[in-house]
Amino acid sequence: MSPAGEAPDSSPEPEVLAQRLAAELTGFCVAKLRDQAAQINRCVRLLSEEQIWERANDVSNSVGNLVLHLTGNVRQWAGEGLGGVAFDRDRPAEFARRDPLPTDELLAGLHAAIAVACTALERLSPEDLAAERSIQGRQVSGVAAAVHVTEHFTGHVSQIVAYTKLLTGRDLSLYDEQGRRLDAAARL
């Protein structure tokens, strides 16, 4: 008991709390990026090279273009923006490409970008997460950059999954009827 007869404050010190929150955020982002990259890998491996680069119409992107776009975005926002790994991005080329890349080359680029991003995220301190930086012409905190790269990635993965379902007619659910993960061992 404290001198005033109250129970001592058991909340963690601000520094400890900041470390825990930083680890929670970056750990979540790393796990989500790896999980979603595995989902892309799964989808791309179900498609022929022709299907990977097929466009539904002139205003839609192919799965291949979306993978190139995610590779560029992850390298720019997490690799360079959070990790300081220089990257010269040609964003319009990610969407303009029409000639196919070999599937293994396409996926290798994505997986290399994810590795760089995860390393950058795992190294972030609470101070790094609070610091302002300029990414893609925007002033953002490290937290905003980490959240952006993760939610942006997840959004495009949903497109890739939907298009893969349309092209293959396969059920790509990762969960059973009770919501249990079916492929926990298949993650990157």
Q: Residue 24's closest CA among 122, 161, 160, 162?
A: 122
Nearest to 148 by CA among 174, 117, 169: 117
Q: 87 burial class (0-12, 13-18, 19+ CB within 10 angstroms)? A: middle
Is 57 in contact with 99 (CB distance < 8 Å)?
no
Residue 67 lies in a domain: yes
Tell me, yes or no, whether 31 lies in a domain: yes
**By percentage, how much of the chain surpasses pLDDT 90?**
82
Range of the domain at 77: 19-167
pLDDT at 183 over 70: no
The torsion angles phi and psi of 171, rounded to 5 degrees, stand at -80, 120
Dihedral of alpha carbons 30, 33, 36, 38, sign: negative
How many structural domains compose the chain?
A: 1
Instruction: Give tens-digit pLDDT for 37-77.
Output: 999 999 999 999 999 999 999 999 999 999 999 999 999 99
Q: Is residue 5 part of a domain?
A: no
Give the domain CATH number at 163: 1.20.120.450
Residue 185 lies in a domain: no
